[in-house]
Amino acid sequence: MTDDHIEALLDRLSRTQQLALVRGATDPEGTATGYLPGVDEAGIPPFRLVDGPLGIRAEGERATAFPASIATAAAFDPDLARRQGAAMGREAAALGQDALLAPGVNLVRVPQCGRNFEYLSEDPVAAGDIGAALVDGIQSAGVVATVKHFVANNQETHRTTVSAEIGERPLRELYLPPFRAAVDAGVGSVMTAYNRVNGTHMSDHERLVGDVLKGEWGFDGYVVSDWYGLESTVGAANAGLDLEMPGVAAPGAADGDEGFEWPDGIPDATRAGLFGDPLADAIDAGEVPADRLTDMVRRVLGQMDRFGRLDGSQGTGDDAGELDSQRHRDLATEVAARGTVLLDNDGVLPLDDGADVAVIGPNVDEPKLGGGGSSETTPFRSVSPVEGIEARAEGDVSSAVGVPRIASVSLFDLLPFVGEDGDAGEDDTAERDPSLDDAVDAAAAADVAVVFVRDATTEARDRDSLALPGRQDDLVSAVAAANENTVVVVRSGGPVALPWREDVAAVLEQWYPGQGDGDAAAAVLYGDRDPSGRLPVTFAPESEYPTAATERRFPGVDDEVHYDEGVFVGYRHFDDANASPTYPFGHGHSYAAFEYGDAEVVDDQTVSVLVENVADRPGREVVQAYVRPPAVDGVERPERELAGFEAIRLDAGQRRTVTLSLDDLAFSRYDSDSGWTVDEGTYTVELGRSSRDVRTTVAFDR
Ligand code: BGC
């Protein structure tokens, strides 16, 4: 359909029909997270939006449960992320959905944030590259991607009211770029965040939504509110918000208790319809220009048209959809394995095929699918740690739980009117009698003890601390004392405290691995796959993160959270403070070993280096490039910033020249007076295995 056709269609729509295209309604089929009824007489079909981002959460349906987004990011491989995006897009299409509410690209600023598992990284280039690849993949399957939550939704505490007080420089250098990358990748939709930024709710933020996103960046898709996250009619319409979701009160919410107090982090689900009659009234009163409504509808129709919804061309060829296929199952397991980070290894890994293994941990009989909240998916099949190891091991496998089960937590448990999700939050320890002694005995009798530990995080809640919940630390220590070949496999949504790490033989970080859990764990433990993940977030003691410095920084005071650390977030802070993190950004071992040649300048944006696998087994390396800026009087800069990366696979003895193009972001800084600035001088490009393991450098002049 041409632009002229859309204009002609717009002309034919009455105002009532137009209004029905900018405010959500109830999905008669009940599967969608958000629904537009369409306009039958004008040939505009219904439009369904669905969560996101770990797979498809269509009500009453099952779908492939992919690993947490942070696991996808840990693979540092945009091609892999693109494949995952495409698979999620195909599943959304198969389930009759038109837009996927993914990816989430908010930076990991606060290590305790309950949604870190849905996000990608503490670094804007990593989050931007992986986020853009996910967008590209989702949309390649004929489904609209929705990048979220624009912007500065970096904590869950008070998320619906808190104001992120951020300077223009960190906003430009850190928090906005992943969204910009999604826009440059052609994302069809942007979801506004619940929070305020510098005092204004994001749904009403004319400068960031209207001026920056739509103006400066030229975004021509639609801006959708977060669910019940529309603050006002006039403010939002004039700021540039295009679509209110869900548009109708949550079933049951409206007739709930009069005195019901919405828990912190949960939006008031009776607030809906601000883009219904109130928008018509505001237009009549001259408070919102009439052509703003036309523009909203034009943007929604533009994406429907782009993805074949207006001429019925969707649902054919690559867009036909696909659900729970073998290739999707394999991909879910592959991403989980590829995102696995080998934090430490004294040589016990990979395991000998014939080793007798004790599989220990409070939840070894259940997969760790994801965290709680709107990203929860229900898979068709899944593999627990015990099942995965039993299927792979050639030696004896025993198992023990040791300590009480770690219950899942979910925002849905906070809502009296949401009836689903019966087992979340339940602790069924009564049905078992966990005995630490049994776990210790099992460990002592085996060649190797593999302990699976996990945290429990959810949307709408930040974690109280980075410590593993329950008695899991005691369990690891007791097992380690009984067997010197103790391997710990960690399932966490982000950074987590590992107090026993020097007492164990190896530590793997698997994030939330999704339905392929046990298979992915076994593949890495036994060396069928190299642990090719690298940390997209710094691991450090909780008190050393920049947000731990004051309550002003986190969780905030008087509903304001002050980003006083400026651009010194994540590794930028640890470099600046000259502090040694527990595990630095970019860290992760391989079972192979890599040597780097001398870096070479290819052109003023590109660098290359020869990398050789000097081990006698194949392996995967993530070659990372960081830029160190020249010193400029009076200007504070991070010591180094990630500029590019590439994940490669090398056979034993194989060598390859890796060429990296360097992101402008790493060379420039944002000056509040003069805007983007590249200081003259010599920039050192560091190439290596992590932000703290530089193998070769080369100079660039600017
Ligand atoms: C979340 C969004 C999600 C939406 C719809 C909100 O609570 O913040 O990420 O897409 O709900 O479920």
Determine the pLDDT at residue 418. 62
Q: How is residue 387 written in tokens?
A: 């099942």
Q: Whose CA is nearest to atom 3 of ligand 1?
A: 374
Of 390, 387, 409, 555, nearest to 493 (Cα)?
Answer: 409
Q: Is the pLDDT of residue 488 over 60?
A: yes
160 close to ligand 1 (CB < 6 Angstrom): no
Bridge-based pairing state of the strands 196-197 and 163-165: parallel
Q: How confident is the model at residue 115 (pLDDT cuts 50, 70, 90)?
A: very high
Residue 253's pLDDT is: 80
pLDDT above 90: residue 262: no
Burial of 630 (0-12, 13-18, 19+ CB in 10 A): middle
What confidence score (pLDDT) does residue 421 get? 40
Residue 411 CA: which ligand 1 atom is closest?
7
Please give the backbone phi and psi of residue 259, each rounded to the nearest 5 degrees, phi first.
-85, 10
Cα separation, 612 vs 609, in Å, equals 10
- Structure confidence at residue 259 as a pLDDT band (50, 70, 90): confident
Backbone angles phi, psi at 343, to 5 degrees: -75, -40
**What are residue 448's DSSP bridge partners?**
357
Task: Report pLDDT for 319.
Answer: 66
- Could you tell me the distance, in angstroms and rounded to a whole number, from the CA of residue 227 to the centre of ligand 1? 6
d(CA 148, CA 223): 10
Cα separation of 156 and 193, whole Å?
Answer: 11
Q: Range with the lowest mean pLDDT among 47-51, 428-432, 580-584, 678-682?
A: 428-432
Condensed to tens digits (0 to 9), the pLDDT of residues 642-657 reads 999 999 999 999 999 9
- Percent of the chain past pLDDT 90, that is, above it, reads 92
Q: Output the residue whose Cα is nearest ligand 1's atom 9.
A: 374
- Of residues 473 and 431, more confidence is placed in 473
Cα dihedral 139, 145, 150, 155 in deg (nearest 10): -120
pLDDT for the residue 75: 98
Report the relative pairing of strands 675-677 and 669-671 from DSSP bridges: antiparallel
On the question of pLDDT at 428 being above 90, the answer is: no
Spatial distance between the Cα atoms of 487 and 501, rounded to a whole number of angstroms: 10
**pLDDT confidence bin for 211, thresholds 50/70/90:** very high
Distance CA 518, CA 528 (A): 13
CATH number of 592-701: 2.60.40.10
148 Cβ inside 6 Å of ligand 1: yes
For residue 178, whether the previous peptide bond is cis, meaning omega lies within 30 degrees of 0, is no
- What average pLDDT score do residues 528-534 get? 97
Residue 539: exposed, middle, or buried by beta-carbon count in 10 A (0-12, 13-18, 19+)? Answer: buried
- For 577, the token pair is 């403070």
* Ligand 1 pocket check for 52: Cβ under 6 Å: yes
Say if ligand 1 is within 6 A of residue 227 CB: yes
pLDDT at 606: 97
Domain ranges of the chain: 3-249+269-312, 326-537, 592-701
Residue 427 pLDDT more than 90? Answer: no
For the stretch 79-114, pLDDT in tens is 999 999 999 999 999 999 999 999 999 999 999 999
Confirm if 452 and 385 have CB atoms less than 8 A apart: yes
In this prediction, residue 139 carries a pLDDT of 98
What pLDDT does residue 318 have?
59
Alpha carbon of 460 to ligand 1 centroid (Å)? 10
**More confident position, 546 or 413:** 546
The domain 3-249+269-312 having CATH identifier 3.20.20.300: the answer here is: yes
- Name the CATH superfamily for 326-537: Glycoside hydrolase family 3 C-terminal domain (3.40.50.1700)
Q: Is the pLDDT of residue 426 over 60?
A: no
- Predicted pLDDT at 423: 42
- Nearest residue (by CA) to ligand 1, atom 5, is 227
481 alpha carbon to ligand 1 midpoint, in Å?
44
Please tell me the distance between residue 32's alpha carbon and the centre of ligand 1 in angstroms. Answer: 12
Write down the pLDDT at residue 429.
Answer: 47
What is the 148 CA–ligand 1 centroid distance (Å)? 9
Asked if residue 254 has pLDDT above 80, the reply is no
Helix (H) or strand (E) holding 650: strand 641-650
Ligand 1: residue whose CA is nearest its atom 8: 226
* Active-site residue flag, 226: yes
- Percentage of the residues of the chain whose pLDDT score is greater than 70: 96
The DSSP symbol for 557 reads B
The answer, yes or no, to whether any atom of ligand 1 lies below 6 A from the CB of 195, is no
Tell how far the Cα of 314 is from the centroid of ligand 1, in angstroms: 26
Question: What was the pLDDT predicted at 64?
Answer: 98
Contacts with 56 (C-beta within 8 Å, 6 or more apart), sequence order:
50, 63, 64, 88, 91, 92, 95, 97, 100, 377
Shortest-distance Cα residue to atom 4 of ligand 1: 227
The residue whose CB lies within 8 Å of the most ligand 1 atoms, and thus the one to mutate among 374, 410, 421, 462, is 374
- Catalytic hit among 27, 51, 226, 462: 226
pTM beyond 0.75, yes or no: yes
pLDDT at site 238: 98
Beta strands at 397-400 and 357-360: parallel, antiparallel or unpaired: parallel
Residue 280, class by beta-carbon neighbours within 10 Å (0-12 exposed, 13-18 middle, 19+ buried)? middle
Tokens of 51: 């969560």
Edge-to-edge strand order for the sheet containing 196-197?
Answer: 200-201, 196-197, 163-165, 560-562
Q: What is the signed CA dihedral for 308, 313, 316, 322, rounded to 10 degrees?
A: 30
Residue 157 has a pLDDT of 97
Containing 669, the helix (H) or strand (E) segment is: strand 669-671
Give the pLDDT mean for 454-470: 96
If one compares 72 and 257, the residue with the highest pLDDT of the two is 72
Confidence of residue 313 (pLDDT cuts 50, 70, 90): confident
> 101 CB less than 6 Å from ligand 1?
yes
- Expressed in angstroms and rounded, the spacing between residue 226 Cα and the centre of ligand 1 is 6
Report pLDDT for 73: 98
Rounded CA gap, 281 and 284, in Å?
5
Q: Say how far apart CA 651 and CA 627 lie, in whole Å.
A: 29
Give me the mean pLDDT over the 151-168 stretch.
97
Mean pLDDT, to the nearest integer, of 128-157?
Answer: 98
Mean pLDDT of the chain, nearest integer: 95
